[in-house]
Amino acid sequence: MNFRLLYIKRKLLMNKTQAYIAKNKERFLEELLDLLRIPSVSADISFSADVNRTAEEVAKRLTEAGAENIEICQTAGYPIVYADKIIDRSLPTVLVYGHYDVQPADPIGLWDSPAFEPVVKETKIHPQGAIFARGACDDKGQMYMHIKAFEAMMRTDELPCNVKFMIEGEEEVGSSNLGVFVKNNHEKLKADVILVSDTGMLANDVPSITTGLRGLSYVEVEVTGPNRDLHSGLYGGCVANPLNVMAQMIASLHDENNRITIPGFYDKVIELSEEERAEMAKAPFSKEDYCDALDIDEVMGEAGYSTPERGSIRPTLDVNGMWGGYIGEGAKTVIASKAYAKISMRLVPDQDPEEITQLFLTHFERIAPSGVKVKVTPHHGGEPAVTPIDSIGYHAASMAYEKTFGKKPIPVRSGGSIPIVAMFEKELGLKTILMGFGLDSDAIHSPNEHYGLFNYYRGIETIPYFFKYYSELVD
Ligand code: BES
Ligand code: MN
Ligand code: MN
């Protein structure tokens, strides 16, 4: 009898689920807008009450959707919301990961409407409208799709397998407490596959599934010259100017081919085969459209690689911020005592973030001219990850996209980083399926972040099919 019941449950058509989603679209949108009104900025301590309140709100929404065993798990930082619905221990379990924290809204002056007062507006790329708010795409909007897809399957009695949720609040600041949580909760997090919507796809009519993420090594550097700020007339030309030196040192980190000059930097980089590169080149890319969208007349990057390659399978080194000296109104003639920069290095398999940080540190100290001292402070990092396209999870995701988009999705490696993906593999032995529905043009981390309504709804519609096909394929 049990077997028969199982069989019926696992061959669900998801028709009732889809009808439920269609009927509740308005409410699904309103609920997301409410969630976006809470400024859950994890990087800024002055928002801590809001971040905590968002965790409670997520827990509440999970409960309302039909999840059980809801827990707001305290950590040394912001809490992790856990919930599950175990319908039958013999069925597979999907662990859904997402994050409820968001990036700071700064620079707030560049937003067309306030970052935490969501509005829906049409854009060229989103003719059906897009939600403008910090976190709309990264990641509240994408995370909430899972809660609504789950609600739809629960209400229609079409949930085909077990599901667990782990929604954290520190992704944008490096997930520093998630590692301990995962280490201490292997049993609780036991699953067959991890499902994450925190990436993007190529275009609304070109669905794609992310099959790789870059790693990250992030350092802050300080160059100190004389022990105090100096008059640039009295001392100019006579001492090392930390800002000049910083500019020179940073410029020397790339050669004329835009390759990174740190010795050993490329040693562990896995080069793709010609076949793999040819496969990658099949994904549509227009350099002209790319430049037009950014108002630039030419692209720039490592010689010998295409723009999509430079942005995904190749490592990078970029200054993210650089300051020092006088930056106020007018002119002040001064040689600053100190110069600062923040530098990110995006890594690819098999580069190791700690090793790269060490290589950077050694090199940066070595190239410092006499007359200055340098200090390198490492920040959070993360390992790169690639996911196979021959797994059951990938097939299920691919079939789900094909069902809702009417097209087979293209596997694409992304340039962004989600360090926990490599950690899940190490700690739990689980591969992650990255079903992201954002677009690169959605301005995540920037002013006017937005998320298309098409993308939000299509995500909610596609997720239940992943559950269906995954349950059917695991046998
Ligand atoms: N969701 C992004 C990562 C992302 C976005 C990957 C789009 C692929 C496509 C995530 O929230 C993020 O911003 N990650 C950070 C790294 C983290 C350690 C702060 C990043 O990539 O800068
Ligand atoms: Mn994210
Ligand atoms: Mn982010």
CB neighbours of residue 430 within 10 Å:
18
Length of the chain: 475
Q: What is the pLDDT of residue 220?
A: 98
Q: What is the pLDDT of residue 112?
A: 98
Q: Which of 40, 100, 134, 171 to mutate to test the pocket of ligand 1 (most atoms within 8 A of CB)?
A: 171
If DSSP states are collapsed to H, E and C, what string results for 188-206?
Answer: CCCCCEEEECCCECCECCE
Q: Would you kindly state where each structural domain of the chain is located, as residue ranges? A: 3-213+384-474, 215-269+315-380
Q: What is the pLDDT of residue 11?
A: 74
Q: Are strands 450-452 and 338-347 parallel, antiparallel or unpaired?
A: unpaired
Distance from the alpha carbon of residue 347 to the mean position of ligand 1, in angstroms? 13
Give Cβ neighbours of residue 306 (< 8 Å, ≥ 6 apart).
281, 285
Helix (H, G, I), strand (E, B) or coil at 335: strand
Indicate whether residue 449 lines ligand 1 (CB < 6 A): no
Indicate whether residue 168 lines ligand 1 (CB < 6 A): no
* Measured distance CA(246)–CA(470) in Å, rounded: 52
* Measured distance CA(230)–CA(8) in Å, rounded: 80
Note the ligand closest to the C-alpha atom of 449. 3
Domain 3-213+384-474, CATH class in plain words: alpha beta
Indicate whether residue 199 lines ligand 1 (CB < 6 A): yes
| Average pLDDT per consecutive 10 residues, the chain (475 residues; last block may be shorter) | 50 92 98 98 98 98 98 98 97 98 97 98 97 98 98 97 98 94 97 98 97 97 98 98 98 98 98 93 95 97 98 97 97 98 98 98 98 96 94 97 97 95 95 97 98 98 98 88
Indicate whether residue 174 lines ligand 1 (CB < 6 A): yes
* Measured distance CA(72)–CA(68) in Å, rounded: 12
Q: Whose CA is nearest to atom 13 of ligand 1?
A: 172
Q: Do residues 103 and 172 lie in contact, with contact meaning Cβ atoms separated by under 8 Å? A: yes
Q: Do residues 379 and 219 lie in contact, with contact meaning Cβ atoms separated by under 8 Å? A: yes
Q: Write out the H or E segment, with its range, that includes residue 256.
A: none
Give Cβ neighbours of residue 75 (< 8 Å, ≥ 6 apart).
170, 177, 178, 180, 181
Q: Do residues 267 and 350 lie in contact, with contact meaning Cβ atoms separated by under 8 Å? A: no
CB neighbours of residue 229 within 10 Å:
17
Domain 215-269+315-380, CATH class in plain words: alpha beta
Q: Whose CA is nearest to atom 20 of ligand 1?
A: 417
Q: Which residues surround ligand 3, an ion (CB under 5 A)?
A: 138
Q: What is the pLDDT of residue 194?
A: 98
Beta bridge partners of 127: none
Burial 461-475 (b: 16+ CB within 10 A, else e): bbbbbbbbbbbbebe
Q: Whose CA is nearest to atom 5 of ligand 1?
A: 199
Q: What is the pLDDT of residue 475?
A: 67
Q: For residue 330, is it left (φ>0), alpha (ψ between -120 and 50) or beta?
A: left
Q: Which of 139, 387, 417 to mutate to test the pocket of ligand 1 (most atoms within 8 A of CB)?
A: 417
Q: What is the pLDDT of residue 12?
A: 81
Q: Do residues 170 and 100 lie in contact, with contact meaning Cβ atoms separated by under 8 Å? A: no
Q: What is the pLDDT of residue 4?
A: 47
Q: Whose CA is nearest to atom 4 of ligand 1?
A: 416
Distance from the alpha carbon of residue 254 to the mean position of ligand 1, in angstroms? 24
Check whether the bond before 139 is cis (ω within 30° of 0). Answer: yes
Distance from the alpha carbon of residue 143 to the mean position of ligand 1, in angstroms? 14
* Measured distance CA(402)–CA(38) in Å, rounded: 35
Q: What is the pLDDT of residue 135?
A: 98
Distance from the alpha carbon of residue 332 to the mean position of ligand 3, in angstroms? 37
**90: exposed, middle or buried (C-beta count within 10 Å: 0-12, 13-18, 19+)?**
exposed
Give Cβ neighbours of residue 193 (< 8 Å, ≥ 6 apart).
92, 94, 95, 392, 393, 430, 431, 432, 433, 470
Helix (H, G, I), strand (E, B) or coil at 210: strand
Helices in 156-237 by DSSP H: which ranges? 178-184
Q: What is the pLDDT of residue 10?
A: 59
User: Crossing angle of helices 25-36/15-23, nearest 10°?
Assistant: 60
CB neighbours of residue 199 within 10 Å:
24
